[in-house]
Amino acid sequence: MKIADPAPVTTSARMRVARSLLVDGPATAPQLAERLGMTPAGVRRHLDSLEAEGLLTAGERPAFGPAPTRGRGRPPKVYSVTEAGRDTFDNSYDDLAMAALRFLQDTGGPDAVAAFAQRRAEDLERHYLPLLATASDPRERAGILAEAMSADGYAAAASDAPGGIPALQICQHNCPVAHVAAQFPVLCETETEAMARLVGANVTRLATIAHGDGVCTAVVSTPDTAEERNPR
């Protein structure tokens, strides 16, 4: 009697691994094992499978944030979700939102879509503003905002801008409305304006997932940044 082949990697387990990287941000296999309560060997099996299918990518550092502390030996692989990986998640809500916004645009015109985007941005402000009540420094507020957005699934982080630029940047590895924002960029624009109001400084978008970039990147220009760029 032939013994049945081992069961394939379960979709639910694979999705748990991929979703953790999508929502909680890039991680190494041991970090994922701790997050998900799985064995490192089991996590690595899922990671290898997902990477082979082009749903994940691995490197020595994540797409955003600090590089992991290196010890002796080879540095651990840091896994991130690719654009193809993001597309594998259920987009039914995106389809519904897209249809609703198209209907709104057809019946009310671009101004109606802009009003909806502004209302969404205002809702984001009301959600995050209480968390920033005790902070006055824009850099501190940006850090708190990034941490709060990460807890809400944006996989966000605040850090000094690379290349010696005297500025702070906020990177979002996940965008819950990326597919919709690709067709209606006003969603990104009003979200950026809301971030600027929350932080209390100018915020400029440099890259967005909606436009095909790996991460959403925004530079926060604080008052001290302006002084360094334009010394008296």
Same domain, 82 and 114: no
Q: What is the pLDDT of residue 224?
A: 58
Q: What is the pLDDT of residue 153?
A: 78
Q: What is the pLDDT of residue 27?
A: 87
Beta bridge partners of 218: 170, 205
Q: What is the pLDDT of residues 94-148, one digit of tens each?
A: 788 889 999 999 999 999 999 999 999 999 999 999 999 999 899 999 999 999 9
Residue 168 lies in a domain: yes
Q: What is the pLDDT of residue 6?
A: 34
Q: What is the pLDDT of residue 21?
A: 85
Encode 113-150: b = buried (16+ Cβ within 10 Å), e = exposed: bbebbeebbeebbeebeeebeebeebbebbbbbbebbb
| Count, residues in the chain | 232
Rounded to two decimals, the pTM is 0.67
Q: What is the pLDDT of residue 232?
A: 45
Residue 5 lies in a domain: no
Give me Rg for the CA atoms of the chain.
20
> Which residue range is the domain that position 128 belongs to?
109-229
Number of structural domains (the chain) is 2
- Mark the ranges of the chain whose per-residue pLDDT is less than 50: 1-10, 64-66, 226-232
